[in-house]
């Protein structure tokens, strides 16, 4: 995702308006590696701009995704996560706390696939499920429902 000032230009160039709400979200998302959900982003935004609507957060996330500045990540359960990193990469999810991290996978596009009868133009999304450092150092797995960061 581009910088807040570049996004400001890009939005105006597309005839979209640049509002304080959007600028705040640009700042909160730029370089954000936490893969926030709409809800956690709304919480962060509310701290700086009380009253900002969750609806506005969803709207802006949708706009940024449509413009290719943001990517939505499906980690299997819970709310959708948003990723300002639009490089060709994949994700690892902690099964205990729900933390999501970017990983780069060598040869992901050259995998030997068997059973692909007729499917064409396939691109892989890889999600590794495991345990993060801080959770691995805790007591035995108690099968908590994964929570967000």
Partner DNA sequence: TTGTTTGTTCGCACGAGTTGCAGATTGAGC
Partner DNA sequence: GCTCAATCTGCAACTCGTGCGAACAAACAA
Q: In the complex, which residues of this chain contact DNA (CB under 7 A)?
A: 11-12, 15-22, 37-39, 51-56, 58-60, 62-63, 78-80
What angle is formed at CA 68 by the lines to CA 119 and CA 122, rounded to 5 degrees?
Answer: 10
Binding at 136: pick from a copy of itself, DNA, none (beta carbon under 5-8 Å per type):
a copy of itself
Q: Which does 62 bind (CB under 5 to 8 A by kind): DNA, a copy of itself, none?
A: DNA
* CA pseudo-torsion sign 7, 127, 54, 33: negative
Beta-carbon contacts of 74 under 8 Å, excluding residues fewer than 6 positions away, are 80, 81, 125, 127
The entry of a copy of itself, DNA, none near residue 143 (CB within 5 to 8 angstroms by kind) is none
Q: Binding residues for a copy of itself, per CB under 8 A? A: 74-77, 89, 92, 94, 101-108, 111-133, 136
């Amino acid at each position: 995702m581009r910088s807040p000032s570049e996004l400001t230009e890009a939005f105006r160039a597309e005839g979209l308006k640049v509002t304080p709400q959007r600028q705040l979200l640009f700042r909160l998302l730029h370089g954000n590696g936490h893969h926030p959900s709409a809800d956690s982003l709304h919480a962060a935004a509310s701290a700086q701009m009380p009253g900002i609507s969750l609806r506005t957060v969803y709207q802006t996330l949708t706009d940024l995704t449509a413009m290719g500045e943001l990517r939505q990540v499906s980690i299997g359960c819970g709310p959708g996560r948003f990723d300002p990193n639009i490089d060709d990469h994949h994700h690892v999810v902690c099964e205990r706390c729900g933390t999501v991290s970017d990983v780069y996978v060598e040869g992901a596009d050259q995998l030997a696939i068997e059973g692909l009868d007729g499917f064409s133009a396939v691109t892989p999304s890889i999600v590794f499920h495991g345990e993060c450092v801080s959770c691995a150092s805790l007591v035995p797995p108690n099968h908590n429902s994964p929570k967000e960061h």
